Chains A and B, each alone.
Chain A
C-alpha cells in the first residue's frame, strides 16, 4: 500500500511553498490535512481559521482576489459542506482558490459517516468555474499540486485519509482534464477515480486470469471531464464500469452517464459502482469490501455487466 494522498499533498505544498503567493488555511486540522510542516516553515502564510470553515472560505476568496493563491484545507465534508459560501464567495467571484478536501469517501474508515464526504463532487460539479481534481495516488497528487499552483480559477482538490495503491510511476506527467489509460483491454472498461483506481487495476489483473480483457482508465479530473476519452472507451469496449468512493449520484458515474446519454454510437451498457447509502464505521478495507469498491467487488461488477451483454 502506498501513501495517503493527503500525505503526498502535505509534502508537496511545503516544496512549492517558497512561492510567496501561496497561503495555506485550515480550520483546526493542520495535523489531519498534513499542513503542519507548511505552518512551521511559513508561519506568516499559514492561517488557522478555527472551526469556522465559512469564514475560512471567505478569507481564502479575499486573499485570491488580492493576488494570492490560497489553499483552504479541511475534511472535505466540512469545507464543501459550507456550500453556499463556496458557491458565492468562491465560485461566483471566480476566485483563484484551491479547496482541499481530505477524508473523502468511506475510505475514512472508523470515524464513520459524519466524517465521510460522499457527495462533495456532486455539489461542486453543478458550480460553474470550479474544477475538480481527484488524484489516484501520491505521485499524481504531487504532480497535480505543481500544476495547480499555476492554474487559473477555483479548484476542488479531493484527497484521501487512507493509504492507496500506487498506480503511477515516478516519471508520471499530470495533464489537467485528460484521463489516463493505465491498462489496455477491450471487453470491459473500468473508469475509476481517486482511491479505487488502484483497486480497479487489481480487479483487471484478476479478470485477466479468467480470460476477461479489462481496460482501466484513471479519471483524475472530474471537471472538466475528458468526454472524448469516455466516448472512445465506449466505442471500443463491450461494457463500461465507473468506480468512485462517492455517491453514484452526481460524481464520476453521473458525469460519464451524461456524456453517453447525449449519444456516442455505442451500445455498451454502463454500470456505476459507488455509494447509494450513508457510510458507516469499519476499517477502510472492510468498508471497501462491504460496498464493492475493492478489487474483488469491482471484478464481480465487471463480470455481471459482461454477462448482460454476452
Chain B
C-alpha cells in the first residue's frame, strides 16, 4: 500500500505502467514535433522516462486546479525540450490532447519554449539555457519561508550546465539548506553541435556537484525503477538539495536518432516520423 497515493499498485506494476507511459509520451512527442515541422526530438526523447515518473507518480499536482497552492513545482530549465512535458500535461488532463497539434503554431499556448503566462501549469518560462535552476531555487526559498510541504523539481540539460548562472545557483542552494529542491540532470551526452565531452568536457561532473555540497545520485535515466528510487531518496535527504544525474541517451528510442547531434533541433520529415513511430511502437520494419 502506498501511503501517499492510497493505491495498492506494487512496485513492479508501477514500473511497468510508467515505462509504458514513457513510451506513449515519446510517440506523442514525435507526432507533435512532426506536425509542428520544427522542434527538438533528441532532448525530449532522452527526458521521457523522468518526465513520466514526475507527472504520473511524483508530482503532487491538480490538473483541474493548476495554481493550487500546495502543488509541487516543476521547472523545465532546458526549455527547448518542453514538448515532452506538454505531452505529459495533456495526458494528465491539464488541457485537451487535441491541443498538442497546435505546438509552435501562431496563437497556441504551446509555445516553442514554455510560457507560463500562456499555459496554466507551466511554472516558469524558460528557453535561455542556464536560468531555470535559479528560479527553482527562489521557489524553494519561498517554500521554506512559508514552512510549506510542497517540493520543487528542476530538469537541467548537460549542455546547459556549461552556463555560469547554473553554478551560481549550485553554490547558493546548499548554503540555504534547500532540501525541498531536487534537480535532475538529463545527461544525454550530446548538445546542439557535438558531444558534450567534445564541446566543453564537464568531468568530473559528480565530483563538482558534490564539492558544491549537493547530495548526488547517479542513475540510468531509462530505468524506471532507478528513477523512482532516486526521486524517493531525494525526499529523505535533509539539509541540502539533491541532484540526480540521470545518464541518458539523446534521441532514446529511435535508433538512428540516438546520440546524433543532427537530431538535436530538427523535426523528422513525415516518412522519417513513420519509421520513428514504428520503432517506438515496437513494430518490426
The number of residue pairs between A and B whose CB atoms lie closer than 8 Å in the complex comes to 103
Which of B1-9, B123-131, B245-253 makes up part of the contact surface? B123-131
Option from A45, A62, A70, A85 in Cβ contact (under 8 Å) with B165 = A85
Q: Interface size for chain B: under 10, 10 to 19, 20 to 34, or 35 or more residues?
A: 20 to 34
Q: Is A2 an interface residue (CB 8 A)?
A: no
Option from A45, A59, A63, A66 in Cβ contact (under 8 Å) with B172 = A59
**SS class, residues of chain A in contact with chain B:** helix
**Residue-wise interface mask of B (233-258) relative to A, using a CB-CB cutoff of 8 A (1 in contact, 0 not):** 00000000000000000000000000
State how many angstroms separate the Cβ of A237 from the closest Cβ of chain B: 41
Q: Is B168 an interface residue (CB 8 A)?
A: yes
Q: Is A123 an interface residue (CB 8 A)?
A: no
Chain B residues positioned under 8 Å from A65 (CB to CB): 116, 123-124, 135, 138-139
Chain A residues positioned under 8 Å from B145 (CB to CB): 23, 44-45, 68
State how many angstroms separate the Cβ of B129 from the closest Cβ of chain A: 10
Option from A49, A64, A87 in Cβ contact (under 8 Å) with B168 = A49
Q: Is B197 an interface residue (CB 8 A)?
A: no
**Residue-wise interface mask of A (34-73) relative to B, using a CB-CB cutoff of 8 A (1 in contact, 0 not):** 0000000000110101101011011111111111101000
Q: Interface size for chain A: under 10, 10 to 19, 20 to 34, or 35 or more residues?
A: 20 to 34
Chain A minimum-CB-distance residue to B150:
A66
Q: Is B59 an interface residue (CB 8 A)?
A: no
**SS class, residues of chain B in contact with chain A:** helix
**Residue-wise interface mask of A (86-122) relative to B, using a CB-CB cutoff of 8 A (1 in contact, 0 not):** 0111001110000000000000000000000000000
Option from B116, B126, B134, B146 in Cβ contact (under 8 Å) with A59 = B134
Known contacts A88-B126, A93-B124; is-contact A62 B139 (Cβ 8 Å) = yes
B164 pairs with A54, CB closer than 8 A: yes
A58 pairs with B128, CB closer than 8 A: no
Option from A45, A84, A94 in Cβ contact (under 8 Å) with B128 = A84
A59 pairs with B128, CB closer than 8 A: no
State how many angstroms separate the Cβ of A86 from the closest Cβ of chain B: 10
Q: Is B20 an interface residue (CB 8 A)?
A: no
A58 pairs with B115, CB closer than 8 A: no
User: A residues engaging B (CB < 8 A)?
Assistant: 23, 44-45, 47, 49-50, 52, 54-55, 57-68, 70, 84-85, 87-89, 92-94
Please name the 3 residue pairs, one residue from A and one from B, whose CB atoms are nearest each other, closest first.
A62-B138, A58-B134, A66-B142
**What are 7 A-B pairs at a CB distance below 8 A?**
A54-B134, A62-B135, A62-B140, A65-B123, A65-B135, A85-B128, A93-B116
